[in-house]
Chains A and B, each alone.
Chain A
C-alpha cells in the first residue's frame, strides 16, 4: 500500500509541468523567507523576559495597557496632557486663529490657558470648537435613549426632595448629565473618543467640593454654606448614580476620587446657554480660558452646537484670552 502510494505520488509529480514546479518552489521559498523575517522581527522587539512564554507575554501586555488605559485621576500629581488634546481636537475640526496658543499659567504645569502671540482684531473668532467634540447636556440626554439616564435623574430628584432641595434638582440636571457622560467616557479608557480631552483635565481642585470639614470650619457662615452646598450636590449626584440605572461599574461609582473629579470637571468647565433650550456645554480648549472681570472674549454657541470664542475688542499680542465667569440670569426662572 505504502509503495503504491509513493509510486502514485511520484507519477503525479512527474506529470506536473516544469514551470509550475518552479513557481511552486519560488512561492515556498518566499513563504519561508517571510516567516523567518517575521520571527526575527518579533524577537527583535520583544523583551527576553516575555519571549519564553506566550502566556506571560499576554499577562504583561494586559497589565501594561491596564495601567495606561484610564485617565489617572487618583494621583493629584499626574500630568495633564493638554497638547495631545489639542492635536486630537484639531483632527476633529477645531480651529484657532493665527497666534492663539496654549500656555501654562503656573510653574507646576497644573493650570493652562490660551493667549495670542500676534493679537486678535475685535469681533474675530479666536477659537472654533466643532459640536462633534463638545460635551452638550442636551445631546447627552438624547444619547441615553434607553431611559437609564432619565431613571437616574428621577432618583436625583427624589434624593434632593428628601434633602429639601425641591426646586434645585431639575435645575441641576444639565450638570448631572455632564458628570454622567464624563464618567461613562472615563470608564471606556483609551477606547473613548474623548480620552485625550479627559486626560487634559485638571486632577486637583480647590473649590467647595474639594474642601474638608476643617476647611469649612475656617470660613464665615455664608461662604461655608456655599462651599458645603457644592459638596452636598456632588454627594447627591453620586448617590443617584449609585442606584445603578446608568451602566457604570461599581469600581467607578464607589471611587470617591473619581466621582468627585467628574463632578468638578463638569462644574468648573461648563459654558451655559439658554436658547433654544437651557444646556451646559464643555468645549475642549474653550474650557481652558481663564476668568477676568473685564474679559476680552465671549463664548457664542451657534444653532448646531458649535462653540465660537469671539474677541470683544482688539486684543494685543501676548495677551491672555479671558471670559467672564459671571452668571447670567436664567431668562426662564
Chain B
C-alpha cells in the first residue's frame, strides 16, 4: 500500500513540476537560455490567483487571470531582457535572468509582505478516495489538468501550423524565417504559453498549500532546470515523463534515503546519476 501511496504522491508533485518545466523547456528549446526568472512567473501567478480569487470568489476566474498576467509578464521578460542578449554568450542571459529573479523575489516581498497570502476560502480542499487512496480534490485536479494540458500542447506542436513552426524555429531558425515564419511571433507565443503555464501552476500550489510567499518559486524552478535536462530539451512528452519520474523518485527517495540526503539532494543526485549514464538526458531525441 505504501508503494502505491508513494507513487501517487510522486505523481502529484511531478505534475506541478511538469507544468513549470514545460514553460522552461519551450524557452530553452527555442533559445538555449536557462530562464531562471521563470520561477518569478510561477510566484506571480500564485499572487494574482489568490488576490483575484479572494476578490471575486471565483477560482476559475483566478486561474485565467493568473495565466494571462503571467503570460504577458513572460513575453515582456523576453522582449526586454532576452531578445537584446541573443547575440551574447549564454551565460550573459543566465546572469541577467538571475538578476531579474532576485529583484522579482524581493519586489514580491516588498509589495506583498514576507508573511505570505492565503485564500480566504480555499476550494477543492475536500477529500476524494480513489482506489483506496486519499487525495485532496485539488491534487487530483492538478494531475488531470496537467496531463490534459500537455496532451493538448503535444498535439498542437505536431499537428498545427503554429506548432510545426515552433519546431522549425528550434532546429533551423534561418530556414524557418525564409519560409515566412515570423521568429518573433513564434518566440512570443512560446514565452506566453510557457509563462502562462507557470502562472497556472503557481495557483495550484497556492491552493495545495493555501499559502503564497515570495520565495516559493525558487526550489521548483531549480528542479525544473534539472527536469528539462532529463527530459530532452524542447520535447513536450519527454518533459512530462521526466517530471513525473522525478516526482516519484523524490517520493521514494525521501522515505528510503532520507537519512542520507534531503529532498533536493535526491532530485539532483538522480539527475547527475542519469547524466553520467546517459549524457544526453533520459529522453533525448538525438
A and B pair up:
no
Residues of chain A touching chain B, judged by Cβ–Cβ distance below 8 Å, are none
